[in-house]
Structure 1
Amino acid sequence: MIEFFQHPFAGITTWSWKYGLGSDTFQIYSYYTIGDIFAYLTLLFPASKIIFAYQVMIILRMYFAGLSFAYFAKHLRLQNSTIIVGAMIYIFNAYLLYANVAQPFFTTAFIIFPLVILGIERILQGKSAFYLTFVFSWMFINNFYFAFILGLGGIIYLILRVLFNYRKRLDYWVTFKKLSFASLTSLLISAGLLLPEILAVQSSTRAGSLFANGLKTYPIYYYLALPSQLINGGNRDFYFWSALGFSSIAFFGVCFILLKYKRYPLLASTFILSFIMLLFPQFGALFNGMMSPSNRWTLMLCLPLSLAVSELLEKLPTLSDRTMKYLAYLTFAYITVVGINYYFQNSEKLFIPIIFLLVFLGMLFWIRYGKSIHPYRLANGLIIANIVLNAIYFETPYNGGFANEMLPNGAYEKLLKNRYGGLDDDIAPSNTFRVSTISNNFFLAKDFKMYNTLNEKLHGLSSYYSLQNQYLGDFSRNMQNIQYETNVPLREFDDRAILLNFLGVKHLFAQLNQPNDNKIPYGYHLSQSTRLIHDVNQKASKNQQMRRYTTNYAFPLMYWQNKVITAKQIQSLSVTQKERLLSQGVLMTKKDATGLKRLDIKNDTVEVPFKLISDRGNIVDPSNLQNSDKNETYRIVLNLEELKRTKQLPKNSELHVEINDIKYTPFSFKKQIQFEEKNQADDLTKGLLASNDRLAYYKYFRYHVLKGSPDMSYNITVNSKLGAETIAQPRQSKTSFFKIVNNGTMNLGQFKTLPDSLKLTLSKMGTYNFKIKVYAQPFTSDYQRDVKQIQKHAVKNLSFKQNGVSGDITTDQLGVITSSIPYSKGWKLYVDGKKVPLYRTNQAFVGFKLASGKHHINLVYQIPGLKLGLTLSVIGIILLIFSWMLQFKKRISI
């Protein structure tokens, strides 16, 4: 962005090679950043003060959120003193405590939402639609995701407001025209950003996710925790993003509104409807764009809750004795419910909210019946004290506070400088190759990961962004990458040598004595290492060293192939066999492959016979495996004698375990507890007197309730002497990180001689049904020859620009240029100055046919929908100006 303002006529960077394999810059930043006006204010600060600027923007955002609430509440003719109290509730809650530390952009929705409601209210009162048009335009430009949430919230407000207040006196046709004008015009004005954003989402890995993660109801622990969530401002669990956590006085605000529902039908119905919506995951999924059940819509509850507190304090001096008694009764009933749950799901963070609940109850009675000189100052002081103590629980290092997850000052700069121990200093930066680390090996600190290499000179394979290329995700899943995540589609690709070569990974970095430090892929040799740091206690397992491995088999970024493969040819092949074909031909659709030579597939992958044997000594059938003992493990015993007999025993091969058609059925809740009790009773390792049947039942009952059992999650882990790999089915509570996992290919490492057996472990009890096969992929001279041929046919003289890449190549026959550049509809291809059709090759990458001869290739990237969006924005602005001029002329004539 700074580069654009410094050189505005140089154009914008539409494609960057630093985002993993490369990505649309708009797609990367559109989800949270591009439309955020506060992000641009950081440009006023020097680069050296960017962290300070970030902190200033947090304070500024919160100030404007409070200002927005105050502006809205002023229209309700509330007193300034009660508005200030409400504003404190509005801007200091668990949701914003989290947002301002982790994702300050969320705060902008708190600024916009009161303005949206006020704009709708103005139209219902017969006023102009221009105000709502401005607010809607800001809402859409700011971010389409929150625009969707706030838009639905606005619709609900409109329906309820009309139902309770305007039903009989509203001019429906005029109101409809004004709302339609505001909606249509704002959509047009914002189309320059909104349309590319929508297209980016539709072409991302987020598209097509399972509605509500397949949940019909939430797990029991969610319902148990829900009552306390209202006032637990130190809470960070945020089950399914049901982020409430207000000052304890919010409880009395809700009770007051519900007790006076006839006076406040809109607020009362809002609370009742919100409570119902919190009970069912379908509502969370609806507000989350028909995807995972994320209750981020609860951010809108901050407005009515804060207003409820303001209304309570406004009417407090006139409340009846009966109302005050009800408030007291409801308080002790609420404490009873929360207290009972505490003994089941205890959390010390509830003590402060409960104490302040009683303090606020006393305050209400003191203000109502006493002679408090400055009642609202008292209320505000207590609210601030409550907020501060909530924040202490939320943020401080002890008890797992958020401060534990924050980097010390200067830590990130230190990481950028020393991430690879200086082993990257002698590597010249280039867009033609990538680097990576060994899977699960690179330890930064507990719970810290670094997927992105945006600020490094080298381009990392992995990347973590909200919107990732859909085709790249499809490629990763089709190759059964066990590390695939929606936001991180590749990661380290499980250290599979051919895939790393194909993706252009030239250097790998590994830390000594960290997981998988010996699982070095084929062809990567130790090229440099740091000084070995010996453990002070002389424990070799604690020695430290950084190592760099380099290969000569990395594929070029763009290269020519003369053989193609169609989906029909490979439909019966294993994933390992398909992986091997990446060095022999190019996968294309049958239609796109017309006129090109087909590859004569020759399989050199070896299927290894095996038996699955329990550590109890019996042979196990994986198609119906009942695991009733969580301590039971299994061994995949390889039949190497059979391979010797048939002269197929490979040497120097990568060993893969492919597991397909996984179906896991957990035992019922009752049955799980029975098996747990039985296993404990049979376990004599802790002594005969250690067994306590009653305690065991409660312990396992509580454990499974809090874990949400039974659920569909499981882990299947396979260990070799070189490392361990896991196929993991996440819980449905993982919201946007949830995925359906029914297969996976695990790379157990490169072996000169295959091991006799592998260890297989199942994480949970239940019935497993899966198909398992073991493959050895030998690396022979044939593979080396294939790679050398690819490197020989690389596109030469690559020149990288802000919007693409160009290069030269000479071929002697018709073939295909393929690449590891992620495919997108935004790519345009020009060969010798003429536009040529592009194809999606190898499932996810840019490719095209090329006739024989000498050619200059120019790939140009245009952000999909940007031109059309900007055109619509201009039309929207013209329409708004024209409408305003007509309105102005009408006023003058009157």
Structure 2
Amino acid sequence: MSKKFKKIGLPMIVIIIVFLIFLNCFFYNQGIYIFPGDSVEQMYQFYLGGWERIRSGSLSQFEWSLGVGGNVMSYVYYFLTSPFFYITLLFPREFIKYLFLDLNMLKIILLFFTTYYWTGKLTKNIRSRLIASFIITFSGWVFFYFAYNMFLDAFLLYPLILGFTEVYLKENKILPLVLGIGALGIVNYYFLYMFVPFLCLYALIRYIEISRNNLSWINLVKAAVKFIGNVLLGIGISAIVLIPCAYLIMNSSRFTENTVKLFDTIGLNELIYFVSTIFSPVFDRFNASYYIPEYTHDFIGWGGGCSLFALIITPLLLPLLLCLKDKVKRNSYLSCYLLLSAILIFQYLWYLLQRSIDTRWTYMFLILNAMTLIEINDELEQDLIKKRCLWFSGGLTIICILGFLLNMYLNHYWPRKQLIEVGIVSLLEIVFVIIYVIYYQLKKRHSWILIFVLALEAIASGRIFVAYNYGINYKYFEQPEHSTEAIDYIKSMDDGYYRILYASESYQIPGAPGAFVITTPNEPFAKNYPGFSFYNTVYNVETDEFYDRSRSNWFVSEAMGRNKVYNLMSAKYWVTYDFETQIPEHYEFYYRDKQSGYTVYRNPYFIELGKTYKETINKDYFKTLPVFLQDQVMQDYLVTEFSENNVYELNSNLEYVGQLADEKHREFKLDVPLSNGTLYIINYGVSEITLSLYSDNNLICSQPYSQYNYVDINLSNNMEIDKIVVEGENNSGVAAFMDVYFEPNDGSYDQWYQQTQQEKFENVLFDRDYISADINLTDERYIFTSIPYDKGWKVYVNGEKVPYEKVNLGFIGLRLGSGNYHLEFRYEIPYLKVGAIISLGSLIILILLSLRNSKKFRKS
């Protein structure tokens, strides 16, 4: 193969393959390929929000749109340390939806060539390098995690670092290896965590192979210590990101909670399922194997566990590992397969490798497959492996494909249409097996033949993925609710301290079974404003107890109603396009843009920065109360850990109305109609309900809810409700007899609000990482701020640094006597400076070691 082809022809072929895979996205969806779920709710939103912050210069250490706020390092690998994200800064915000596919295509192309670089250190056989590059680049692992752009950011560095490891082992050059590890730690610390154990295993088996002629235990131990030292040096370079992030995630439930026991194993069904993924490309990103559906076995990772598919040439050639003449490599690779198989069986080892019960770690099989196939192909081309072994392996592969297909048919896993489709794909795989077997029978094995067959299989596998995994229709992204115009308007009018609520906006895509939500929990982040909702696995855990009252799993949605709590947390504006029926209680019309269609409402009960309290209540006792009562009590009692008070008295005229039965259709008739007040329904764990209100059997209003613990709705003075109907299935497993309360608008809340304004914060200055305010106290008070508790905050009173405590389940509070005070709140990312010092020190050590090695090289 000519050098010109390697430099020009091969890159062009790879680019064409990738383009053909995603061709339909350009013709039928205007080049947009973003999936429902995490792809649009996390990845896309984080890119939008990152673009907003960098372009506007508003990036700060404390991120106010992470729920009620948190350390910006929570988002670091989603955009801040992704080199591909910075490409989006060259384009308008509206182009990001198109760039998502373009950038992921670029990552796949780069993955091919980082793999090609690495394999060049293992063999000079161009065909072996091509096989390895194709099976990694167009693998089931890559397509299965295609929706997670930060995964691909880091994964393409894996082969590059393996190549640098080869340079280190053969030439003793530490610079590329250490810098590569450092770069991986900065780009994605999670993938560094997953990679280091495998990297050490890889270095061990490669050292044994390279040093087989003068191998000794002493030399092995010395080499291992030296290699681990260099790995630690690379990790040290990434400390500027690693240390602050480690501080965040060490307290995260993902890293502290583990339900898997030490000797828990997967069953035979799960093992067969994993094996079946080897023989089938990824059809559905929520089901790695179409031969055996995800629902037929126990949980083995999100979406049924990751696919082990690495083109059909892998199961064809892999059995020939037993026929390798190089005993050192054969035994090394067999040992690695046994080790990885043991990890596959014992789920606790999954948790150790990735801190979750998922199968992202199975990339190890993929890289090991590439190494093994390189050696097998080398020996096949040298005629060291008998041809009949290949025929036997081909027959075994075909039998496995037909066996899984027959099992699928006998168990009626899929409807007829899908069964036919899988059958056609299986037939195609068998054809590829036969072609590969015939190829190896040729006396002259031209590289172009192998490239052609590999390219066809890569295109077929990729096209199957794209055909079965539809992206969101481009019309969804054209809706005006995606624009930042409403937020830009509010910011232009108000640069103070406040939070914004948003309406639940959605769009019905033509042909879709249901409407797609536009205002996802990451809406505040995408548009760069302080809000209440978020969806991320890493966040400010100091506010966990506050979030736990309303969240589900990894996301905190904005609740409908609950205005008393949102008032405490400095909610000031509410934005909507279509859902005028959701206007928060008492919010007043502020502005409407007729051209863009948005409307802004303002809260007349806005509490800027916080309020003062006379009374406290013990946190442990407070948490025993129902969430509904917690929100009422929190209005007048500051929740603290050290309070000894376990008694409270509500300031409202809350009335108990009655109780709804634990049924799907709950109906309650009132003896006296309700009007002019707030109705509360305590729905506990029945999150999906529809509340309907009637007057003389006439439907007055009906509102669906999707939230826990309680819902509330405002009744105007012209509404007289005499019947309440709540519909919703109770799947919580616990009986839910729903209590009903009513709070009349008797002026008590107005009195409460006026009282809060007598001792309020004045002259509030808000600059994201810096907040200052003045307050005048006539006597000793407890100060509550709606600033989330985070150890990165430093509080100064009249210029003197003072201690503070966590109050109201996750916010900054302190106690002050009478007098005039100037308060300042300054934020610094915890351990950022420590990480920077370690990174700088590691770089200095690396430079000194490199200089020493270069001097030794010149002397020799």
* Contact 1:583 1:790 survives alignment (8 Å): no
Q: Does 1:137 align with 2:182?
A: yes
**How far apart are the structure 1 equivalents of 2:505 and 2:94?**
32
Aligned-partner SS, 1:860: strand
- Over residues 811-846 of structure 1, what are the superposed CA-to-partner deviations in whole Å (9 max), with x where a residue is unaligned? 212213322222111001112211111221211112
Q: Does 1:405 align with 2:472?
A: yes
Out of 242, 246, 267, the position equivalent to 2:310 is 246
**How far apart are the structure 1 equivalents of 2:721 and 2:200?**
64
Out of 762, 768, 778, the position equivalent to 2:743 is 778
**How far apart are the structure 2 equivalents of 1:493 and 1:583?**
18
- Over residues 858-892 of structure 1, what are the superposed CA-to-partner deviations in whole Å (9 max), with x where a residue is unaligned? 11100111011111122212222333344444555
Aligned-partner SS, 2:256: coil
**Equivalent residue runs for 1:794-805 within 5 Å:** 794-805=760-771
CA distance 1:425–1:848, shift in 2 (3 Å): closer
User: What residue identity is the alignment partner of 2:440?
Assistant: R
CA distance 1:413–1:510, shift in 2 (3 Å): closer
**How far apart are the structure 1 equivalents of 2:63 and 2:641?**
28
User: What residue identity is the alignment partner of 1:77?
Assistant: T
* Contact 1:520 1:749 survives alignment (8 Å): no
Q: Does 1:149 align with 2:174?
A: no
Q: Does 1:723 align with 2:775?
A: no
* Contact 1:507 1:549 survives alignment (8 Å): yes
Out of 414, 433, 450, the position equivalent to 2:498 is 433
**Aligned sequence identity (%):** 18
**Equivalent residue runs for 1:385-424 within 5 Å:** 385-396=456-467, 399=468, 401-402=469-470, 404-405=471-472, 407=474, 411=477, 414-417=480-483
**How far apart are the structure 2 equivalents of 1:280 and 1:818?**
48
1:861 alignment partner in structure 2: 827
Gap regions ≥5 residues in structure 2: 1-49, 289-302, 510-514, 694-701
CA distance 1:551–1:800, shift in 2 (3 Å): closer
**Equivalent residue runs for 1:41-120 within 5 Å:** 42=88, 57-97=103-143, 99=145, 102-120=147-165
- Over residues 606-656 of structure 1, what are the superposed CA-to-partner deviations in whole Å (9 max), with x where a residue is unaligned? 444436265xxxxxxxxxxxxxxxxxx353657x56xx7xxx989623313
Out of 588, 591, 614, the position equivalent to 2:640 is 588
Q: Does 1:333 align with 2:399?
A: yes
Q: Does 1:314 align with 2:360?
A: no
2:16 alignment partner in structure 1: none
Q: How many Å apart are 1:574 and its aligned residue?
A: 2.5
- Over residues 307-335 of structure 1, what are the superposed CA-to-partner deviations in whole Å (9 max), with x where a residue is unaligned? 44444443445242431232133123211
Compare 360-369 and 750-759 and name the one that shifted more. Answer: 750-759
1:462 alignment partner in structure 2: 533
Out of 522, 531, 535, the position equivalent to 2:585 is 522
User: What residue identity is the alignment partner of 2:741?
Assistant: A
2:60 alignment partner in structure 1: 13
- Over residues 683-741 of structure 1, what are the superposed CA-to-partner deviations in whole Å (9 max), with x where a residue is unaligned? xxxxxxxxxxxxxxxxxxxxxxxxxxxxxxx97756444334457xxxxxxxxxxxxxx
Aligned-partner SS, 2:113: helix
User: What residue identity is the alignment partner of 2:426?
Assistant: I
CA distance 1:293–1:549, shift in 2 (3 Å): same
**How far apart are the structure 1 equivalents of 2:205 and 2:368?**
13
Aligned-partner SS, 2:794: strand
CA distance 1:22–1:232, shift in 2 (3 Å): same
1:24 alignment partner in structure 2: 71
* Contact 2:772 2:824 survives alignment (8 Å): yes
- Over residues 63-94 of structure 1, what are the superposed CA-to-partner deviations in whole Å (9 max), with x where a residue is unaligned? 43222212221222241133123212221234
**How far apart are the structure 2 equivalents of 1:186 and 1:494?**
48
Q: How many Å apart are 1:520 and its aligned residue?
A: 5.2
**How far apart are the structure 2 equivalents of 1:782 and 1:840?**
29
**Equivalent residue runs for 1:120-135 within 5 Å:** 120=165, 127=172, 129-135=174-180
Aligned-partner SS, 1:62: helix
Aligned-partner SS, 1:33: helix
CA distance 1:208–1:419, shift in 2 (3 Å): farther
**How far apart are the structure 2 equivalents of 1:865 and 1:338?**
53
TM-score normalised by the chain length of structure 2: 0.78
Q: Does 1:379 align with 2:427?
A: no
Out of 738, 749, 767, the position equivalent to 2:713 is 749
Aligned-partner SS, 2:847: helix
CA distance 1:549–1:577, shift in 2 (3 Å): same
* Contact 2:652 2:743 survives alignment (8 Å): no
CA distance 1:607–1:214, shift in 2 (3 Å): farther
**How far apart are the structure 2 equivalents of 1:166 and 1:656?**
73
* Contact 1:606 1:650 survives alignment (8 Å): no
**Equivalent residue runs for 1:613-632 within 5 Å:** none
Aligned-partner SS, 2:308: coil
**How far apart are the structure 1 equivalents of 2:432 and 2:159?**
27
CA distance 1:511–1:51, shift in 2 (3 Å): closer
**How far apart are the structure 2 equivalents of 1:155 and 1:179?**
8
**How far apart are the structure 2 equivalents of 1:118 and 1:361?**
30
Compare 576-585 and 343-352 and name the one that shifted more. Answer: 343-352
Out of 837, 849, 857, the position equivalent to 2:803 is 837
Q: How many Å apart are 1:286 and its aligned residue?
A: 2.5
1:504 alignment partner in structure 2: 570
**Equivalent residue runs for 1:263-662 within 5 Å:** 264-289=330-355, 292-317=356-381, 318=383, 319-343=385-409, 344-346=412-414, 347=418, 350-351=422-423, 353-370=425-442, 374-396=445-467, 399=468, 401-402=469-470, 404-405=471-472, 407=474, 411=477, 414-417=480-483, 428-438=493-503, 442-443=506-507, 445=509, 446-449=515-518, 450=520, 451-454=522-525, 456=527, 459-477=530-548, 480-481=549-550, 483-486=551-554, 488-489=555-556, 491-509=557-575, 518=581, 521-524=584-587, 550-567=602-619, 570=622, 572-590=624-642, 604-610=653-659, 612=661, 633-635=664-666, 637=668, 652-659=677-684
**How far apart are the structure 2 equivalents of 1:162 and 1:285?**
28
* Contact 2:762 2:775 survives alignment (8 Å): yes
Gap regions ≥5 residues in structure 1: 534-544, 615-632, 661-713, 728-743
**How far apart are the structure 1 equivalents of 2:91 and 2:577?**
37
Q: How many Å apart are 1:847 and its aligned residue?
A: 2.1
**How far apart are the structure 1 equivalents of 2:488 and 2:845?**
58
**How far apart are the structure 2 equivalents of 1:550 and 1:151?**
52
